[in-house]
Amino acid sequence: MKKSVSLILALVMLLGLVACGTAPSTSQAPSSTPADTSTSAPADSISEPLPPKNGEKYVIGISQPFMGHPVRQAGQVLIDAWAAEHPDCEIIVTDGQLNAQKQIADLEDLMARDVDIILVAAHQSPTLVPVLSTAKEAGFPIIAFDRVLTDESVQIGRVINDEVAGGKVCAELMKEALGEEGGDIIVLMGPAGNTGAEYRQQGFEEGIEGSNINIIDMQVADFQRVKAVEIFENLLQANPDLDGVFCHNDEMALGVCQVLEAAGRDDIKVVGYDGQKDALESVIAGNLYGTARKVVEFPYSLDMAYEYLTTGKIEEPDVNLPPIKIDASTVNDYYDPEAVF
């Protein structure tokens, strides 16, 4: 996917706001993220530009699962930067508020507004597939980002983080934290039906296979810090000899660290996922052992959408972004006190 020189320069300046360190490659890489039995649909190639429906600007609809998360806020910075470089495009962003029914309504609204293309990060993929199928049948091109869709036949392309590989990074961190003797750990999970959470767990379990790490309990905390605090307070009481906790995102991991600090426990190792700013600060402080840092999927998904709208095809419809291992030895390479994420 081709980017203008000015966009590249803008992104270089934004790296301090979003993700210190080396920018990810947008080249297609083999993914260890499992896919549905169907394959990514070819871009219904028309091989010619699609004129804007309103005759003036392309309208790109972006369905986000929750705009309150630092990852989404960092993404918005990059969306705004991309939009400034593409005056022929208008972008509409919706917030699903961690509610599948709200996200369905958001997608229906984008269809009612007759956008030219839809980008979607599914909160609960199985719940969204019917409305996405309706959108496809109505002629709306769909690009998945961040979360794998359980029915990939509805999409023309996807830009995702390799969540299975990220889970394996977290397993590596946990094995390093606990040493060869291993120990008993608890897993705090994301929402049921969330493919990101499922693939992170799959990678983690594959990564600890053959080690002495035992998962003794798994609880759903819905990616929420407050919920993680409530759940883990009870889990810690019931499992005082616990050795470690793996959380499917940093928000839950930071909630666990909060409980451990209040209990005066510094012997339990905590590993998170996302690599958000306050998680990096927790690694620096010695509370969070480590995290797998994800790469924000913008501008790559917007580039893919623009490529399709302006050429009628997508050269690389399956883009997978690799995770970054963050621990005490690497955190300063990525931490920026001025960053959004």
pLDDT exceeds cutoff 80 at 3: no
Question: What's the whole-number average pLDDT of the chain?
Answer: 88
Closest CA to 101 of 76, 62, 65, 140: 65
Interval 261-302: pLDDT, tens: 999 999 999 999 999 999 999 999 999 999 999 998 999 999
pLDDT at 341: 81
How many Cβ atoms sit within 10 Å of the Cβ of residue 97? 15
Structural domains present in the chain: 5-161+297-322 (3.40.50.2300), 163-293 (3.40.50.2300)
pLDDT at 316: 97
Mean pLDDT value of segment 160-178 = 97
pLDDT exceeds cutoff 70 at 208: yes
pLDDT exceeds cutoff 50 at 39: no
Please, which pLDDT band fits residue 45 given cuts at 50, 70 and 90?
low
